Amino acid sequence: MGAGMVSYRPGRNGFATGGDMGREQTEVLFSEETIRVRVGELARQISSDYSRYGEILLVGILRGCYIFLADLSRRLTIPGRIDFVALSSYESGTAAERPVRLVMDLRTDIAGKHVLIVEDIVDTGATLDFLLPVLRRRKPASLKTCAFLRKPSRLLKELTVDYVGFDIPDVWVVGYGLDYMGRYRALSDIGIIATPPAAR
């Protein structure tokens, strides 16, 4: 592996290299430090915007959000609660033919609450386009969206994301919660995978 490549050292990246792990080469797109700085900026912005509301309810979309949500929530300076939904995503078929389904609902009644949806990455926008009306029907006091990454060139829907960490080109990214066939979620950096998934 040359400079700028991710090295899969045990400990630092959570899971040790073993078996066929680490065969797909990844190139670092955002380093741990770059991510840390940007998450801090997002947390400051969100804390300032929500300071007059009293309490925020972060709704994470599993599974990709888990690291971003953990980092973001710990750097907010406003009171808040956390809940999760799980949606079917790239399980089968291409983005166009794959209907989004709610596979795990919230436990919280969001009526009257200030809800911020936290997503790892907005790609075609199908996930948020599905979830927003579902949650809006439950009458939250406000409903906004935050995505750590967004691929503007892939967007199929007219969609406003209120808080975005970084806009990226049409590449498959892994690490910081994001996977490639279930792997690499625990990488500390965000990397571009050389062999993107076929089913898109």
Q: Which residues bind ligand 5GP (CB under 6 A)?
A: 64, 89-90, 95, 119-127, 172-174, 178-179
Per DSSP, the three-state class of 114 is strand
Per the annotation, the verdict on 123 as an active-site residue is: yes
Binding status of residue 64 toward Mg ion by CB under 5 A: yes
- Taking the complex as a whole, the smallest distance from the CB of residue 144 to Mg ion amounts, in Å, to 17
83 φ/ψ angles, rounded to the nearest 5 degrees:
-140, 170
> Which single residue is written with the structure tokens 């050292």?
9
| Residue 50 vs 68, nearer CB to ligand 5GP | 68
- Taking the complex as a whole, the smallest distance from the CB of residue 44 to Mg ion amounts, in Å, to 24
**Which of 123, 162, 167, 170 is labelled catalytic?**
123
| Residue 53 vs 90, nearer CB to ligand 5GP | 90
34 CB contacts (<8 Å, ≥6 apart)? none
| Residue 31 vs 47, nearer CB to ligand 5GP | 31
Residue 47 burial class via C-beta count within 10 angstroms: exposed 0-12, middle 13-18, buried 19 and up: middle
Per DSSP, the three-state class of 50 is helix
Residue type, 78: I
x-marked contacts with Mg ion along 4-43 as a string, rule CB under 5 A: ----------------------------------------
Q: In this structure, are residues 89 and 127 in contact, taking their beta carbons and an 8 Å threshold?
A: yes
Per DSSP, the three-state class of 184 is coil
- Taking the complex as a whole, the smallest distance from the CB of residue 126 to ligand 5GP amounts, in Å, to 4
- Which residue of 120, 123, 179, 189 would you call a contact of Mg ion, by CB under 5 A? 120
| Residue 22 vs 190, nearer CB to Mg ion | 190
- Taking the complex as a whole, the smallest distance from the CB of residue 124 to ligand 5GP amounts, in Å, to 3
CA distance 143 to 57: 10
Q: In this structure, are residues 116 and 146 in contact, taking their beta carbons and an 8 Å threshold?
A: yes
Question: Which of Mg ion, ligand 5GP, none does residue 13 bind to, with CB < 5 to 8 Å depending on kind?
Answer: none
- Cis ω before 63 (30° cut-off from 0): yes
Q: Which positions are catalytic?
A: 123
Binding region for Mg ion (CB under 5 A): 61, 64, 120
